[in-house]
Structures are given as C-alpha cells and as structure tokens.
Amino acid sequence: MGTGNEAGSGRFLNTNSREFARSTKMCLQSGAGRRRLLRSRSNLAIESATIMAHIVTSKCVGCKFTDCVEVCPVACFYELDNQLVIHPEDCIDCTACVAECPVEAIYAEADVPGEFQANIEFNATEGRRIKDSGQEAIVKKKDPLPTAEARKTELGY
Ligand code: SF4
Ligand code: SF4
C-alpha cells in the first residue's frame, strides 16, 4: 500500500501522486536530481514497458481552467489559444494532473475513451510543435477562458 508502483497496472506511481509530484519537482531543481530521475524512469520503463503520456482531450476546449499545470512536476503542459496539450515524451505518467481538472479532461493514454482517440495524436503533434517552436511550458494557473463556466455546464459538471 502506498508504494506508488503498481506493476502491471498500465501506469506507475498511481498512488499518492500529489506527494510524488512535489518531491519530483524538488528533485528536478538540480541537474544531478534530474539525471537520477531520468535513470529511474528508464529503469521503470524497462521493468514495466508501460510508461505513456497523459492526454488532454477536447473537453478542455473552451475551458482552459489551467488547474492542472501547477501540479505537473516536469512542466509538460503547452498552451494553444483554446486548450492545453501534454508533451508526449516529457510526461512521466505521474497522474497528478488528472484529479485537478474540473471537467475531467485528462486521461492516461490507455484510458482515453473512444470518442477522444483522435486527441492522442493531436496532443503529440501539437505538444512537440509548440515546444520545438521555443514556447515555454505553462506552469502557472491563469484565468480560465470567458466561455469556461458555460462549457463546464455543457459538459455536465
Ligand atoms: S484543468 Fe482541465 S480544462 Fe483546465 S486546462 Fe487543464 S485540462 Fe484543460
Ligand atoms: S502531464 Fe504527465 S507528468 Fe504532468 S502531472 Fe500530468 S501525468 Fe504527471
């Protein structure tokens, strides 16, 4: 209980993810810490071969509440005009962001519902494109879009 590594579950560090996010953020403050983390990630990937990105689905479109970005330990959220996306290689699958989203827009890749499958490729393409363009990741919460409350109601939240 609470080991944070659930072998065979399709992801790792499912438990206590907020605590993990905080400790990982501290770890990343040093280069040595980041190298250790990457080595650790690499070892876990070999053990489970299941690390995958999380996906922001189109439920985010028109909301952009941005609650999700402040818990991400590796700053892998990027901003479009009307939604966020997650960079597919930078996400370490910690799950910390999932519970933060008021409209439950974020899923582990393996759990993305059928209606949002196209969003997987969209996140990958846009996440890489935006990062490669030199735009910084979004790490601070900002005001949601003016349409956010209406969109939230429309989505049933
Ligand atoms: S919290 Fe949800 S709606 Fe807000 S930006 Fe993140 S994914 Fe989008
Ligand atoms: S985007 Fe990935 S690394 Fe960032 S909080 Fe979500 S699951 Fe964790």
Tokens 């990343």 sit on residue: 28
Name residues contacting ligand 2 (CB within 6 A). Answer: 54, 71-72, 74, 76, 86, 91-97
Kindly list the structural domains of the chain, giving each domain's residue range(s) and its CATH number in brackets, ordered by start. Answer: 2-47 (no CATH), 54-154 (3.30.70.20)
Q: CA 137 to CA 67: how far, in whole Å? A: 14
pLDDT tens digits in sequence order for the chain, 157 residues long: 333 333 333 344 444 555 655 555 555 544 445 445 555 555 554 444 455 799 999 999 999 989 999 999 999 999 999 999 999 999 999 999 999 999 999 999 999 999 999 999 999 999 999 999 999 999 999 999 999 999 999 999 9
Pocket residue to mutate for ligand 2, from 23, 97, 100, 104, most atoms within 8 A of Cβ: 97
Q: CA 117 to CA 91: how far, in whole Å? A: 18
Question: Looking at the chain, how many residues does it have?
Answer: 157
- pLDDT, position 111: 96
Entry pTM: 0.75
- pLDDT, position 13: 44
- pLDDT, position 92: 95
73 C-alpha vs ligand 1 centroid, how far in Å?
16
- Taking phi first (over 0 means left), then psi (-120 to 50 degrees means alpha), and beta for anything else, what does residue 36 get? alpha
The one-character DSSP state at 78 is E
Q: CA 92 to CA 11: how far, in whole Å? A: 10
Ligand nearest the Cα of residue 51 is 2
The one-character DSSP state at 15 is T
Question: Strand 106-108 to strand 84-86: parallel, antiparallel, or no bridges (unpaired)?
Answer: unpaired
Pick the closest to residue 152 from 115, 102, 107 (CA basis).
102
Taking the chain, what is the end-to-end CA distance rounded to the nearest angstrom? Answer: 31
